[in-house]
């Protein structure tokens, strides 16, 4: 069964590609490589020992997407393509509204034109804004604090409207918490351009000596050690969550909105210590002012995903750190060293 992965060359997409193949599906990547490197395709071929199906183009090109859907007889789409940097979205909101909203609308129009009705969407815990309490359940109120988060919220609403108008559409909205780590083979992983914004890739580069020290954003939060608490989830667990969602949607489930997290929060300092253990390196760090827009604690109630998808995260923080380190130390320049 053929599954289209928009944004399939990216961090989460490449891991989902491997998980889909392992589960017996045939994934087809659609990507414009605006935030990924074509060398990932060669790596995926090495990991899976199979020729990679990839269509290079923009998801906002509706005619192109229609052609791809038809050409590969696509049964379901996992929509990951989009821009994701919060700070950049504040500085350049139109880029985010154009790409994220434009991409989702174009994809849905193309799917409607060819009568493809199964869609899994990459949403984010960012739609919960600053939650009143933790753990966060799916019925919690949604809000946004930046244009990136706003695009996720609007796309969720567009999908709900489309499902209401077309009850034969099956839509799964997956709200990711904090994806980290890499496939255990060490060949694929997170490869941010420039200085990373997110914690785990930043720590990896400090451990490698590419960055001098980590700034811990805030040491005075109302958390056990004063640093921010997040629900880090291994990217391979997340990838398997997508497979479970596709299976459920193709198996007749009518649609869902679920958290993909572990249900366990770790502080910044706990992650630093776990990374030091896993890598055998020291992660130099110092407490810095809070980062604007950050919340003290954010972790999931993962019960609904367990119930509706029969899925739960299995991998530990130690595995997340060990796998992130294997990827980063084996590929200090990411995919850029590949021909």
Given 11, 25, 128, 148, the catalytic residue: 148
Q: What does the H/E/C string look like for 15-68?
A: HHHHHHHHCCCEEEEEECCCCCCCHHHHHHHHHHCCCCCEEECCCCCHHHHHHH
| The binder of ligand NAD chosen from 66, 89, 99, 331 (CB under 6 A) | 99
From ligand NAD, ligand UD1, none, interface partner of 256 (C-beta below 5 to 8 A by class): none
Report the distance separating Cα 318 and Cα 277, nearest Å: 8
From ligand NAD, ligand UD1, none, interface partner of 307 (C-beta below 5 to 8 A by class): none
From ligand UD1, ligand NAD, none, interface partner of 81 (C-beta below 5 to 8 A by class): ligand NAD
How are beta strands 255-260 and 214-217 bridged, if at all?
A: unpaired
Any contact of residue 179 with ligand NAD (CB under 6 A)?
A: yes
Report the distance separating Cα 37 and Cα 76, nearest Å: 25
Helix, strand, or coil here: 90?
A: helix
> Nearest Cα to 266, choosing from 231, 302, 318, 233?
231
Q: Taking a C-beta distance cutoff of 8 angstroms, is the pair 296, 223 a contact?
A: yes
Any contact of residue 189 with ligand NAD (CB under 6 A)?
A: no
Query: At which residue do the structure tokens 């599906």 appear?
Result: 25
Give me the phi and psi of 280, to 5 degrees please: 70, 10
Any contact of residue 5 with ligand NAD (CB under 6 A)?
A: no
| The binder of ligand NAD chosen from 25, 27, 58, 298 (CB under 6 A) | 58
How are beta strands 285-288 and 232-234 bridged, if at all?
A: unpaired
CB nearer to ligand UD1: give 230 or 326: 230
| The binder of ligand NAD chosen from 44, 47, 52, 60 (CB under 6 A) | 60
CB nearer to ligand NAD: give 252 or 302: 302
CB nearer to ligand NAD: give 176 or 299: 176
CB nearer to ligand NAD: give 176 or 335: 176
Helix, strand, or coil here: 273?
A: helix
CB nearer to ligand UD1: give 117 or 152: 152
Our answer to whether residue 176 is catalytic in this structure is no
> Nearest Cα to 140, choosing from 296, 297, 241, 258?
258
> What residues are labeled active site?
148
Chain residues binding ligand NAD by CB under 6 A are 6-7, 9-13, 31-36, 58-60, 80-82, 84, 99, 103, 122, 124, 176, 179
Chain residues binding ligand UD1 by CB under 6 A are 84, 86, 124, 126, 149, 178, 197-199, 202, 214-217, 228, 230, 268, 291, 293-294
């Amino acid at each position: 069964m053929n599954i289209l992965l928009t944004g399939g060359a990216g961090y989460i997409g490449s891991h989902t590609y491997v998980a889909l193949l392992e589960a017996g599906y045939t994934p087809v990547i659609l990507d414009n490589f605006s935030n990924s490197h074509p060398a990932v395709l060669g790596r995926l071929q090495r990991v899976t020992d199979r020729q990679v199906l990839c269509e290079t183009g923009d998801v906002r090109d509706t005619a192109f997407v229609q052609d791809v859907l038809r050409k590969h007889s696509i049964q379901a789409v996992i929509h990951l393509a989009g821009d994701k940097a919060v700070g950049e979205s504040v500085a350049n909101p139109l880029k985010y509204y154009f790409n994220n909203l434009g991409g989702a609308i174009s994809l849905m129009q193309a799917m409607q034109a060819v009568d493809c009705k199964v869609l899994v969407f990459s949403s984010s815990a960012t739609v919960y804004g600053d939650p009143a309490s933790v753990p966060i359940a799916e019925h919690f109120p949604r809000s946004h604090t930046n244009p990136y988060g706003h695009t996720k919220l609007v796309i969720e609403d567009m999908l709900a409207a489309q499902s209401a108008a077309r009850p034969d559409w099956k839509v799964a909205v997956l709200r990711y918490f904090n994806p980290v780590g890499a496939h255990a083979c060490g060949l694929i992983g997170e490869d941010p351009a420039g200085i990373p914004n997110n914690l785990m890739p930043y720590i990896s580069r400090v451990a490698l000596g590419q960055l001098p020290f980590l700034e811990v954003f805030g040491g005075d939060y109302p958390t056990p050690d004063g640093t921010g608490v997040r629900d880090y989830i291994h990217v391979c667990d997340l990838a398997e969550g997508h497979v479970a969602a596709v299976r459920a949607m193709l198996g007749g489930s009518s649609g869902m909105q679920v958290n993909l997290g572990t249900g366990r929060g770790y502080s910044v300092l706990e992650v630093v210590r776990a990374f030091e253990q896993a890598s055998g390196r020291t992660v130099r760090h110092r407490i810095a002012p809070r980062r604007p827009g950050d919340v003290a604690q954010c972790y999931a109630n993962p019960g609904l995903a367990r119930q509706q998808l029969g899925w739960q995260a299995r991998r530990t923080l130690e595995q997340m750190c060990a796998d992130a380190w294997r990827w980063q130390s084996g590929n200090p320049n990411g995919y850029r060293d590949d021909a």
